[in-house]
Structure 1
Amino acid sequence: MQKIALIVDSACDLSLEVIKEKNIRLLPLRISYSHGEYKDKIDISADEIYGNLEKEVPKTSLPSAEDLEKILIDLENEGYTHVIAVTISSGLSGTFNSIRLALEEHPNLTSHVFDTKILAMPEGIVALEVANLIKEGKSFEEIVSELPTIRKNIIGYFTVNTLEYLKKGGRIGRVAGTIGDMLNLKPIVTVDEEGIYYTVCKARGRKQSISKLISFLKDELKENKCNVWVLHGGALDEAKSVLESLKGLNNILSLDISQISPALGVHGGPGLLGLAIQKVC
């Protein structure tokens, strides 16, 4: 009989409560300051990151090999036979490859590492779907075969106040050169098929950039029923305002707010706003 475990990295933006409830194994990214290192979501919060950005912009790095090895050994000791790992885009992080290589050293665990080519709550949605399929008793093979379809129905968009932090973190992708801060142009960013950031369009000022985000959602809602999450990085009040503005739209099945993880906050900076959209039918 198959006993299937689910591993996710901390870029998925699922809350610790949901991770515990769904029996998900969390692999934290690392956040490094000059004075020490922290485990994403475990040792440091997003608000702490934003509060210190003017003093120091920390570095982010892969989950530690020790943390990953401990998870895999624990799974073996607990009698798990299969592992599905859901990861942040390989175009933005080496986490996918590090998990894949580590699992090769554990042949007793039949595994599949899924590169979502996305991040934040869109990645988290994939993980939630996998967790639900495990709970329903689906086989490893059935779940793996459904992953591409799950992923195809998820998209995310976000806008930032400044590209400063994406630049400093080396995560600028194909957004470079598309914005003029002096002109108050804000990019609407998503990821391409390779999982790399690119600008869909630009808007002048904060209000217009938020309107553009909502217009992309409205386009999806014309033909699909959707679950929607409002994403934010240190912008809870604005996220609540956006959520309220969406409540009257047809075809939204569920609506929630998600704060991005501390590690992603390093790169997005304070004021990030976005939407995660899951097409259901």
Structure 2
Amino acid sequence: MDKIALIVDSACDLSLETIKEKNIKLLPLRVSYSHGEYKDKIDITADEIYNNLEKEVPKTSLPSTEDLEKILVSLEEEGYTHVIAVTISSGLSGTFNSIRLTLEDHPKLISHVFDTKILAMPEGIVALEVANLIQEGKSFNEIVELLPTIRKNIIGYFTINTLEYLIKGGRIGKVAGTIGDILNLKPIVTVDNDGVYYTVCKARGRKQSISKLTSLLKEALAESPCKVWVLHGGVLDEAKTFLESLKGLDNIVSLDISQISPALGVHGGPGLLGLAIQKVM
């Protein structure tokens, strides 16, 4: 019988409580300041990053090979036969390739590394579905076959107050040139089929950008029932207000709030607000 382990990077935005409950192995990205390096979600919180952005914008980097090696060795010692790794988009990070290469040195573990082509809670939703399938006793091959279908029904959108942090982090993708500070234009951003940021539409001001997010959600809800998460970067009160405004919409199966992980917060900056949407087919 397959004994399957699930590995996710910390960009998935799952809470540490959920990660523990679902027996998921967390591989933290790294956040580096001039005074030292921190493991994402382990040694540093998103709020700590937001509170210090004016003093210093840290750099982010891949999970360490040493951390991954420790996980893989422990899995071998615990008798795991298979590994599924769910990763942040390869268009935004080298994490996918790093995990894939490291697993090649562990032939005892039959593995599949899945590039979600997304990030944040949308990536986390993929991981949650895999964790549930493992708990249900599905085989490794069954889960691997289901992954593209799971991913197809998930999308995320977000709006930000400024492109400053995406630009500094080199994560601008195809969003460049879409915001006009003078006109107070705010982009609504998602990722394309290559897993790179691009602008879906623009809105004038914060109120209109939130209205655009709601419109995009309504389009999804018109197609099928959906599970919905409100995403935020250091603006919990605003996220709660946004969530309340969505409660009257038809076809919402569940509604929750998710905070952007520390490493992602570096690039989005304070004030990020968004949606993760999973169609329930």
Q: Same fold (TM over 0.5)?
A: yes
Q: Hey, what does 1:158 align to over in structure 2?
A: 158
Q: Hey, what does 2:199 align to over in structure 1?
A: 199
- The one-character-per-residue Cα deviations of 1:82-107 (angstroms, maximum 9, x if unpaired) are 00000000000000000000000000
Shift of 1:181: 1.5
RMSD value over aligned CA atoms?
0.4
Give secondary structure in 2 for the equivalent of 1:267.
Answer: helix
- Aligned counterparts, 1:256-267, within 5 A: 256-267=256-267
Shift of 1:183: 1.4
Distance in 2 (alpha carbons) for counterparts of 1:234 and 1:146: 34
Distance in 2 (alpha carbons) for counterparts of 1:122 and 1:128: 10
Instruction: Tell me the percent identity.
Output: 86
Give structure 1 regions of 4+ aligned residues with deviation exceeding 3 angstroms.
none
Q: Hey, what does 1:96 align to over in structure 2?
A: 96
- The one-character-per-residue Cα deviations of 1:20-72 (angstroms, maximum 9, x if unpaired) are 00000000000000000000000000000001000100000000010000000
Give secondary structure in 2 for the equivalent of 1:92.
Answer: coil
Distance in 2 (alpha carbons) for counterparts of 1:42 and 1:181: 36
Q: TM-score, normalised by structure 2?
A: 1.00
Opposite residue 196 of structure 2, the aligned amino acid is: I
Shift of 1:139: 0.1
Distance in 2 (alpha carbons) for counterparts of 1:223 and 1:52: 42
Give secondary structure in 2 for the equivalent of 1:11.
Answer: helix
Shift of 1:182: 2.0
Q: Hey, what does 2:218 align to over in structure 1?
A: 218
Q: Hey, what does 1:2 align to over in structure 2?
A: 2
Q: TM-score, normalised by structure 1?
A: 1.00
Q: Hey, what does 2:269 align to over in structure 1?
A: 269
Aligned length, in residue pairs: 281
Q: Hey, what does 1:146 align to over in structure 2?
A: 146
Q: Hey, what does 2:50 align to over in structure 1?
A: 50
Answering whether residue 185 of structure 2 is matched by residue 182 of structure 1, we say: no
Give secondary structure in 1 for the equivalent of 2:182.
Answer: helix
Give secondary structure in 1 for the equivalent of 2:43.
Answer: coil
Shift of 1:263: 0.2
Give secondary structure in 2 for the equivalent of 1:105.
Answer: coil
Opposite residue 31 of structure 2, the aligned amino acid is: I
- Higher mean alpha-carbon deviation, 205-214 vs 173-182, is at 173-182
- The one-character-per-residue Cα deviations of 1:106-144 (angstroms, maximum 9, x if unpaired) are 000000000000000000000000000000000000000
Give secondary structure in 1 for the equivalent of 2:240.
Answer: helix
